[in-house]
Structure 1
Amino acid sequence: MSRSEALGKEPVGKLLWDFSVPAIVGMMVNGLYNIVDSIFVGNYVGEVGLTAVTIAYPIMLVMMAFGMLVGIGAASLVSIRMGERNQAGAEKILGNALAMLIIMAVTFTAIFVLFLDPILLMLGAGGDVLVYAREFTQVILLGSLAMYVGFGLNNVIRSEGNPSIAMYTMLISAVINTILNPIFIMWLGMGIKGSALATVIAQTVSAIWVIAYFMGSKSVLKIRSENLRLDWRIIGQIFKIGISPFLMQIAASVVTLLFNISLINYGGALAVAAYGIVARVAMMILMPIFGITQGAQPIIGYNYGAQNYDRVIEAVKKAVFAGTALSVLGFIAVQILDVYIVRLFNNNPDLISLGSYAIRIVLLMLPLVGFQVVGASYFQAVGKAGMATFLSMSRQVIMLIPLIVILPKFFGLNGVWAAGPTADLISAILTGTFLFAEMKRLKRAAVS
């Protein structure tokens, strides 16, 4: 039985475990990737370096957004084509995805490099923060092609039924980054530029690994030169499905920008540094939940394509349970260990006090976030891009952005911190309503 056929025959619980555990490990390591960067920058460059990285972070989110637009859209289509036993169609999607990632990398890198200072100033950088942010971002941008290709195509590796290789991609990158960060920052004295260089080298190695996989004998799908010619019908399908995570990432960039502006206005540079810590801790908690959604995606997509709706429902239930359990554990950890977590990044007493307070408030609704993320990802996995986009954006844009603007006017800095958990609560209610209706529809379809 081939790896793709196993998606429709093996027990759903075993499949979810087999696919999610490597994804969770990979995502956790990827989360550590950013945590390590911030710890070294915060401790050896200082609060100004941590603030600079936080200010520049929306640019990295935009880059990731375009990688997700193509990578996740292509991955969902590949899963569906494999469920339809259409390998040639899946390979054409892979080739078009690679070509589009290269075009995007070259185009957007050129734009960001040309207008970097105005963009950083718009993001809130100034004085020493601008100098550090420029140094960091210039290096990241010049190595962005590797990030686009490695990050984008790694999703397809998982969708073709090889989650372990996808995990190794992230492990390789994270281990290299973790080793190089202290070498470049501490021993070679490169400061914040060293952190960026470590990231670029790690991403380049993982991109080479991904391309080698698809060119080698272990992959089901192959990169073929004839499939690199863009087919705009396929690109349209990729964009249609990938638009949800893309908009979610763009929204995350806008939200980070608005947070930074509000924090500067109501709390100053120290509040921005505190938010940088909170955002990275939140990412670390969300990474295993994203791992579950990535593990469930090929199972749901394949069985939806094969019209095995009972298996789709079972996969959703198990993924929701696992995601909720992880988010509850994360909530307990941050409420108990808040001071110790912040202290990892910097020993400034004022930053520790502000950061520990912020982390408890901002992550107050974590127990609901696991369900919301998994629920929204179901619609993406089955190709219902409109609903996936709406549910994803309900948390990141529709609710959150107005709350960031309105609440601080009444509650000051506390209003900034409270915007996130308020949006989490509302979006979880919305997701539950639509997911419940969808599961009822699938049950009727399975019986008929």
Structure 2
Amino acid sequence: MASANSQNLGKKPIGKLLVQQAAPASIGILVMSLNILIDTIFVGNWIGSTAIAAINVVLPVSFFIAALGMAIGIGGSSIISRALGGDDRKKALKTFGNQISLTLILTITLVIIGLMFVDSLIPAFGGKGDIFEPAKVYYTIVLYGVPFLALCMMGNTVIRAEGKPKFAMIAMIIPSVGNLLLDYIFINQMGLGMWGAAWATTASYLFCFAYVFWFFVSKNSELKISLPDFGLNKSILSEIGSLGFVTLSRQAVVSIIYMLMNNILFDLGGEDSVAIYAIIGRMLMFALFPVLGVTQGFLPIAGFNYGAQKYQRVKESINTAILYACGLGLLVFGGIMFFAEEIVEIFTQNPKIIAETPDAMRWVFAATPIVAIQLIGAAYFQAVGKAIPALLLTLSRQGFFFIPLVLILPNYYGEIGVWISFPIADLLSTLLTGYFLNREIRLKMKPGTSQ
């Protein structure tokens, strides 16, 4: 039998459950986003705007490798949630063991390859001109810690699948606080520049890994795996891969977008334009934390109840999550529209960046109130194990729509073409996701289905 923690996902009122799951997830994402945000502020004010651009160049590579852990975590956690919902504890344990083995094998391999081709990768991702040297310093050091980050991302989703979001929240807070403290010591007090920023980030990954490791070996976790569970199982790996590929594909597209944006903006406006995108990118990570928190909180609720064949509860969780997330998205939209100038001035004193970033930021956030529909819709198909629609809907926003737009529109409208690509892609992907989600609800969750 699954424990009371996971069984609560099928019994408590949906609204209350969503708040309980989403609030810790939102807080964790908030703290993690604040970490990235304040880290950027520290770097911009203590090192310079070129350093902001350098970190932005490194992000696609480190994010992609770390995303392997997230993909394996979310793919496996969907299996674990449904297994716990169906009282199949043996499958849940075997899945977790396979998640750990797969994460280690893939991330270590990619780190080795990443270090071998450092001088080729950095320019390819936009690290040109004055950006190259600080980007190389940051990249080389941070890459050593990325496997630990991948394990943390994987473990965090499993903790949430067990119905213990508060522990998942703490796992996200620890590295954020550690990174900020070390940033202050290494950059401000010791004057170590990019070297200090990189080691502060890498050390924060180690702090997070230590906490996640403690959680799973302590009495807090239901998943007490043994050595045989680490042995790779073909059917489980296939299911993890098919579901995790959704997340990995999304993160791969994010990395491609960073590469395209860095190169396009460097050609249009040089280092300052890359720095503008870096600031907007940090705000996207930070400002959307409540919407992303609702999405994370929704996943285990939908997955558990779908596994338990309580389809009306699944439908209720979809509607409630969209309502909450859209409301929060509207608040984010208002904050960006009214305070864009004040936000930018926190990051830098560069006059060009201060003058040009606010309008660009407003365009990027223009469709924020409706983005929740796209996020929740894609998350639903992932939570219930429908990999193909989850993959297509996840890729629709940034892959199928945004990439073609950002390749075409700047040819006619310059930098403004880059920024208006964001809301157009958001609108098109939301309409597409809304159609498929509505069809799924009508066909699968008719009145009279299992409660």
Please give the TM-score of this superposition, normalised by the length of structure 1.
Answer: 0.98
Q: What SS does the corresponding residue of 2:225 show, helix, strand or coil?
A: coil
Match of 1:246 in 2: 248
> Is residue 430 of structure 2 the alignment partner of residue 397 of structure 1?
no
For the Cα contact (< 8 Å) 2:43–2:52, is it kept in 1? yes
In structure 1, what residue type is equivalent to 2:180? T
In structure 2, what residue type is equivalent to 1:122? A
> Is residue 111 of structure 2 the alignment partner of residue 116 of structure 1?
no
Equivalent in 164, 189, 193 of residue 195 of structure 2 = 193
Match of 1:388 in 2: 390
Inter-partner Cα distance in structure 1 for 2:327 and 2:184: 34
The within-5 A match list for 1:8-23 is 8-23=10-25
Equivalent in 373, 376, 388 of residue 375 of structure 2 = 373
Equivalent in 292, 295, 302 of residue 293 of structure 1 = 295
Inter-partner Cα distance in structure 1 for 2:128 and 2:277: 18
For the Cα contact (< 8 Å) 1:313–1:442, is it kept in 2? no
Shift, 1:124, TM fit: 1.9
Match of 2:222 in 1: 220
Inter-partner Cα distance in structure 2 for 1:75 and 1:364: 33
Match of 1:32 in 2: 34
Shift, 1:363, TM fit: 1.3
Match of 1:352 in 2: 354
Inter-partner Cα distance in structure 1 for 2:409 and 2:375: 24
Shift, 1:445, TM fit: 6.9
In structure 2, what residue type is equivalent to 1:55? V
State the Cα deviation string for residues 230-251 of structure 1 (Å, max 9, x = none): 1122111101111111101100
The within-5 A match list for 1:43-192 is 43-192=45-194
In structure 2, what residue type is equivalent to 1:174? S
Inter-partner Cα distance in structure 2 for 1:161 and 1:55: 36
State the Cα deviation string for residues 165-205 of structure 1 (Å, max 9, x = none): 00010111111111111111111111122112111111111
Match of 2:307 in 1: 305
Inter-partner Cα distance in structure 1 for 2:56 and 2:347: 13
For the Cα contact (< 8 Å) 2:95–2:236, is it kept in 1? yes
State the Cα deviation string for residues 278-309 of structure 1 (Å, max 9, x = none): 01101112232221111111110010011000
Q: What SS does the corresponding residue of 2:288 show, helix, strand or coil?
A: helix
Equivalent in 266, 274, 277 of residue 276 of structure 2 = 274
In structure 2, what residue type is equivalent to 1:362? V
For the Cα contact (< 8 Å) 1:47–1:346, is it kept in 2? yes
Which deviates the most, 286-295 or 170-179?
286-295
Inter-partner Cα distance in structure 1 for 2:362 and 2:156: 34
Shift, 1:227, TM fit: 0.6
Q: Which segments of 5 or more consecutive residues in structure 1 lack a partner in the other structure?
A: none
In structure 1, what residue type is equivalent to 2:353? L
Match of 2:433 in 1: 431
Q: What SS does the corresponding residue of 2:191 show, helix, strand or coil?
A: coil
Q: Report the identity percentage.
A: 37
Q: Which segments of 5 or more consecutive residues in structure 2 lack a partner in the other structure?
A: none
Runs of 4+ in 1 over 3 A off after TM superposition: 445-448
Shift, 1:446, TM fit: 4.2
Which deviates the most, 361-370 or 272-281?
361-370
Shift, 1:264, TM fit: 1.2
For the Cα contact (< 8 Å) 1:300–1:378, is it kept in 2? yes
Q: What SS does the corresponding residue of 1:347 show, helix, strand or coil?
A: coil
